[in-house]
Amino acid sequence: MGRVQSGDVNAFAELYDRYAVRAFRVARAICQDSGRAEDAVQEGFLAIWSSRAHFSPENGTFKAWSMSIVKNRAIDAYRAAAVRPPVQLAETQAEKPEANSKSVQDQVLARSETDAVLISLRELPAAQAEVIALAFFGELSHSEIAAHLDLPSGTVKGRMRLGLEKLRKQMDVPA
């Protein structure tokens, strides 16, 4: 990020390559639409470039800072479209890309498991679904989610624990 702050476009391209897929997952979960999510990611990274001088590692990681910016752009896009609450998750585009070496059967099984998780997430209270989605799709830690949502870490951990307990019950998974 130091190179980006000094205006290095190639370093910024590296950061984009590293975080764009994660940012898209976060934006897609909020926007409910791939097109709006792509726009939110692009606008978010433009904002990151424009405000690169304001980033300070003392205030948190680049990942948490950048995902917060993308999340805010996604919320703005969602609100502009005024379709559904942002914490409801779409059934597509949320899973991680499958390796080409996996068999078709493995890919179908992985897809059906992801769909089952997404359906179960919709049944959770919004606050619990949000922290689980940020952890799973955004790959953020508890502390990064806390910074991202401006919540105490204990609140995030509590919501995560309650949400995961409810998911286990809904999906009939032993603890």
- What integer is the mean pLDDT of 126-150? 79
Q: Which long-range contacts (CB under 8 A, 24 or more apart) does 94-100 make?
A: 94/25, 94/28, 94/29, 94/118, 94/137, 97/21
Number of domains in the chain: 2
Whether residue 173 has pLDDT greater than 90: no
Q: Cα 103–28–74 angle (5° rounding)?
A: 160
- Give residue 112's domain range: 99-175
Q: Which of 54, 86, 118 finishes a domain?
A: 86
- What integer is the mean pLDDT of 29-42? 87
Token representation of residue 48: 């990151």
Q: Are 1 and 54 in contact (CB under 8 A)?
A: no
Determine the Cα–Cα distance for residues 165 and 159; give it in Å rounded to an integer: 10
Whether residue 85 has pLDDT greater than 80: no
Determine the Cα–Cα distance for residues 59 and 12; give it in Å rounded to an integer: 20
The model's confidence at residue 42, banded by pLDDT at 50, 70 and 90, is very high
Q: Which residues of 88-99 are buried (b: 16+ CB within 10 A; e: fewer)?
A: bbbeeebbeeee
> Domain for residue 105, yes or no?
yes
CATH code of the domain in which 40 resides:
1.10.1740.10
> Domain for residue 92, yes or no?
no
Predicted structure pTM score = 0.51
